[in-house]
Structure 1
Amino acid sequence: MISRRLATAAVMVLSACCAGLAFATPPLPPLPPQAAPGDLIFRRGTENVSQLVQAVDGGDFSHVGMLVGRPGQWQVLHATPSEREGQPDAVVLDSLDFFLDVRRAHAYRLYQVTAEPGARERAVAWAMAKQGQPFQLLGSDQGIYCTTLVWRAWLQSGADLEVAFTEVDLPMLGGRYLLPSSLLRSSRLRALTPLLPTR
């Protein structure tokens, strides 16, 4: 009787472990060796607001963040509505895995910003100092949202990405916004990866 219970318990534990493995998300491939702090990582999001951004923009991406850290320990600094319970809408620092989790992203692409090393360090330091600042979706160049955070970081470092703001005419969201595709048109951006799926 005891051996039957032990066998049943062992099967249940093994089944639970195997079930967890079956549903685990495969790890993302490592970023290319040329990746550096300050590079921009664009993602195609999964949420309704992501689809709205893409529809208004007509581009491939709905969100962008700045790469910080180092290989094996990359993080992404980005201005976003809350993606965790209890977290405010703000400039936040997340792990690369969290930023690209399949619940938040369908695909992504990494771009390097062409700039002198000193400008790169200044851009990262400026952006990191904004951590915790409230997310503000304002229809002017004064708002702090994903694209304006990284644009301003590079601009104050001396590397002008020469972006154009787009006039958006939506109820309660009218104004001029910096959309992801405008950042992508910058001559200072060079793709380091193709468009990669998160699954």
Structure 2
Amino acid sequence: MVRHHVMLCLVALLGGGAAPDGGGVPPADAPTLPPAAIAALQAQARTGDLVFRAGRGWRADAVRATSLSGWTHVGIIDMDARGRVFVIHAAPPEDGHGGRVVRESVARFAAPAEAERIAVQRLAVPDATLVRMVRAARGFAARQVPFDDAFDLADARALYCTELVWRSLWRAGVQVRPRTRAVPVPLMRGRYMTPDDLRAMLPLRPVLSDVVS
């Protein structure tokens, strides 16, 4: 039981996603991202951008308790031909559902129930590299690669949020050494790659800052 609660804390720190529903569309009665925020994303974001999320509720509380960054989750933006904004990310287990890599609408990814705010940053790499990165991420989603609840960067059979971005970039030819930090969680002490570590190790520039859900 203790280990189970510890795992929930780590999932809060390095997962932070909603349980996938298959279609990436929130229930009809669920609050969603404001239309103005979606319009801003459609106008300024592009495929291959990274979207960082500050979680809400117990996930954010877990981050504060361990003195980590307010950014608790990250995904890769993937826009379709109609300009709709989707996010590919490693969604953690929730409500009895096993976590996995999913592609879902940004409205779901940044819904008020899940996020206080989001920010979009752009990688300073060639467009061809971004195409390869997103293709790799789509492949992980298509194969429904499971969420990595062991948070093991050495094992590519399962992925957590920052690991998905790192491995997608690696497959695209951006082979950077992962930056990690010690997470002071009892029984699960180790080094993990947080969203802030990802931001520190990659060439990023801001596109949209503090979009409020």
TM-score interval for Structure 1 and Structure 2 normalised by the shorter chain: 0.7 to 0.9
Using the TM superposition, give the Cα deviation of residue 26 of structure 1 relative to its aligned residue in structure 2, in angstroms: 3.6
Partner residue of 1:189? 204
User: Is 1:27 aligned to 2:35, yes or no?
Assistant: yes
How do 1:29-108 and structure 2 match up within 5 A?
29=37, 30=39, 31=41, 33-56=43-66, 58-70=68-80, 72-82=83-93, 87-108=97-118
Rounded Cα–Cα distance in structure 2 between residues aligned with 1:79 and 1:111: 18
Rounded Cα–Cα distance in structure 2 between residues aligned with 1:54 and 1:123: 31
Using the TM superposition, give the Cα deviation of residue 86 of structure 1 relative to its aligned residue in structure 2, in angstroms: 6.6
Partner residue of 2:139? 129
Identity among equivalent pairs (%)? 28
Equivalent AA in structure 1 for residue 146 of structure 2: P
Using the TM superposition, give the Cα deviation of residue 87 of structure 1 relative to its aligned residue in structure 2, in angstroms: 4.3
Contact 2:119 2:211 in 1 (8 A): yes
**CA pair 60-151 structure 1, distance change in 2 beyond 3 A:** same
Unaligned residue ranges in structure 2 (runs of 5+): 1-27
User: Is 1:150 aligned to 2:162, yes or no?
Assistant: no
Rounded Cα–Cα distance in structure 2 between residues aligned with 1:24 and 1:89: 21
TM-score of the two chains, using structure 1 as the length reference: 0.77
SS in 2 for 1:152: helix
Rounded Cα–Cα distance in structure 2 between residues aligned with 1:127 and 1:28: 27
From the CA coordinates, give the structure whose radius of gyration is larger.
1
Unaligned residue ranges in structure 1 (runs of 5+): 1-19
Using the TM superposition, give the Cα deviation of residue 28 of structure 1 relative to its aligned residue in structure 2, in angstroms: 4.1
Rounded Cα–Cα distance in structure 2 between residues aligned with 1:112 and 1:185: 13
**CA pair 172-189 structure 1, distance change in 2 beyond 3 A:** same
> Over aligned residue pairs, what C-alpha RMSD do you find?
2.6
TM-score of the two chains, using structure 2 as the length reference: 0.73
The number of aligned residues is: 177
Contact 1:138 1:144 in 2 (8 A): no
Using the TM superposition, give the Cα deviation of residue 55 of structure 1 relative to its aligned residue in structure 2, in angstroms: 4.2
